[in-house]
Amino acid sequence: MKSGSDERLARIALKVNGERRELLAAGYKTLLEVLREDLGLTGTKHGCELGECGACAVQVNGEPVLSCLLLALDCDGASITTVEGLARGPELSRLQAAFADLGAAQCGYCTPGILVTAQALLDRNPRPSRQEIAEALSGNLCRCTGYLQIFEAVEEAARAGAETTAPAAAGREVS
């Protein structure tokens, strides 16, 4: 059951959470769709698919981006970190542990996007101020928490040490 529209597939090579992945995907597919539908990485969420809510945030080469606004094809060769790449094996990262302990995840739907965005912040600024955290997360909506426990979790992770850097960051360095 093929549609009449252009379904030519493009070959895309990504490094996802430290692993090389090659796939064929329609050129119009967003990075979000490829992650969720082609690679089965459903940890990354969508709340609008218009770049308005931040739920789909992932790191591309260490920078937080909205995966719903990015064509997968344009990410060819890039390193992608999703929420699935934050833990070190079965061990939660410091940031994940702080989110879990301090109530930063209620329904959990905005959580993956906020985690990768906050991790990117900590990677470039290990001891951010409350204002810097609020600014870094201002593109990620959360309807449950009122943000305060999220701020506290990021601060706790920062306090807990410089090694909060996600293992995926290490993964990015593996060739």
Partner 1 sequence: MKVIGQSRRRVDARAKVTGQARFADDLALPRMLFCKLLRSPHPHALVRQLDAGAARAAAGVALVLTGDDFTVAYGIMPVSQDEYPLARGKVRYVGDPVAAVVAASEREAAEAAALIRVSYEPLATVASPEEALRRPEPRIHDYGEGPNVHRLAHFAFGDVESALANADRVFEDVFFYEGNTHLPLEQHASVAALDPDGRLTLWSSTQTPHYVHRELARALDVPAHRIRVVATPNGGGFGGKSDPFNHEIVVAKAALVTGRPVKITLTREEVFYAHRGRHPVLMRLKTGVKRDGTIVAMDLETLLDGGAYGSYGAASTLYTGQLQTVTYHVPRYRFRACRAFTNKPPCGPKRGHGTPQPRFAQEVQLDKIAVGLGRDPADLRLQQIESPGALTANWLRIGTIGLKACIERVVEGSGWRERRGRLPSGHGLGLACSSYLCGAGLPIYWNEMPHSGVQLQFDRSGRVTAFCGATEIGQGSDDVLAAIVAEVLGLEAGDVRLVTGDTDVTPVDLGSYSSRVTLMMGNAAIQAAERARAMLAAAAATRLGVPAERLAFAERRVFDVENPAAAMTFQEAVVAAEVAHGTLGTTGSYRPPRSAARYRGGGVGPSSAYSYTAAVVEVEVDATTGWIRVPKVWVAHDIGRVLNPVLARGQVEGGVYMGLGETLMEEQAFRRLPPRLSSALVHRIPSILEYKSPTSLEMPEVVTYFVEEPDPGGPFGAKEVGQGPLLPVAPAVANAIFDAVGVRVDEVPITPDLVLKGLEEKAKGRKPRVGPAAFPAVPWPEALVVPPPWEGGDGKAVNEKAQSRDVLPTAHSGTAGVKV
> What residues make contact with partner 1 under the rule CB under 8 A?
1-5, 36-37, 40-50, 52-53, 55, 82-84, 86-87, 92, 96-97, 99-103, 105-112, 115, 133-135, 137-151
- Give 79 or 140: the residue with its C-beta nearer to partner 1: 140
Print the SS3 string covering 83-100. HHHCCECCECCHHHHHHH
Provide the minimum distance between the beta carbon of 103 and partner 1 in the complex, in angstroms, as a whole number: 4
Provide the minimum distance between the beta carbon of 175 and partner 1 in the complex, in angstroms, as a whole number: 26
The candidate with the shortest Cα–Cα distance to 139, out of 74, 69, 85, is 69
Whether 45 contacts 128, CB under 8 Å: no
Provide the minimum distance between the beta carbon of 106 and partner 1 in the complex, in angstroms, as a whole number: 4
- Give 19 or 52: the residue with its C-beta nearer to partner 1: 52
- Count Cα neighbours of 94 within 13 Å in the Cβ-side half-sphere: 19
Provide the minimum distance between the beta carbon of 69 and partner 1 in the complex, in angstroms, as a whole number: 13
Instruction: Find the helix packing angle between 94-101 and 148-159, rounded to 10°.
Output: 140
